[in-house]
Amino acid sequence: MVLLRRLLGDELRRQRLHQQRTLREVSSAARVSLGYLSEVERGQKEASSELLSSICTALEVPLSVVLTGVSAELARAESDAPSPRAVLGLGADRAAEASPDIAPADADVVASAA
């Protein structure tokens, strides 16, 4: 399972290292403790929207750029992961049984995607 906080931390670290800046420099500019910023970068802490804004301002990188990078990594991780139906071993015949809200026609599409 891909954790959004880990992808976000990876992207923030990538941006910081690209600028050849230290955690100390960015934490000071963002007015966040060095330890907390480190935990955010390692995906161990969830960053609030206010904290993300502060870190992005310190990095002089728009939040939209950071989120675009996270989105690209998430899409890559999702495309590499098997579909939930494939993991469960559900074909078109069993997909409709497992999810009654999926119409039989939809079940065929789901099975062919898996």
Residue 2's pLDDT is what? 85
Count Cβ neighbours within 10 Å for each residue of 17-40 and write b for 16 or more, e otherwise: eeeeeeeeebbeebebeeeebbbb
User: Contact at 8 Å (CB) between 38 and 23?
Assistant: yes
More confident residue, 45 or 97: 45
Neighbouring C-beta atoms of residue 52, cutoff 10 Å = 17
Residue 27's pLDDT is what? 98
More confident residue, 102 or 11: 11
Q: Options 3.30.300.30, 3.30.200.20, 3.40.50.1820, 1.10.260.40; which CATH number does 4-80 get?
A: 1.10.260.40
Beta-carbon contacts of residue 51 (< 8 Å; ≥ 6 apart): 30, 32, 40
Neighbouring C-beta atoms of residue 79, cutoff 10 Å = 7
Residue 81's pLDDT is what? 74
Q: What is the pLDDT of residues 61-96, one digit of tens each?
A: 999 999 999 999 999 999 887 766 655 665 555 545
pLDDT at 110 over 90: no
Q: What is the pLDDT of residues 24-68, one digit of tens each?
A: 999 999 999 999 999 999 999 999 999 999 999 999 999 999 999
Look up the pTM and report it: 0.70
Q: Where in the chain is the domain with CATH 1.10.260.40?
A: 4-80
User: Contact at 8 Å (CB) between 102 and 96?
Assistant: yes
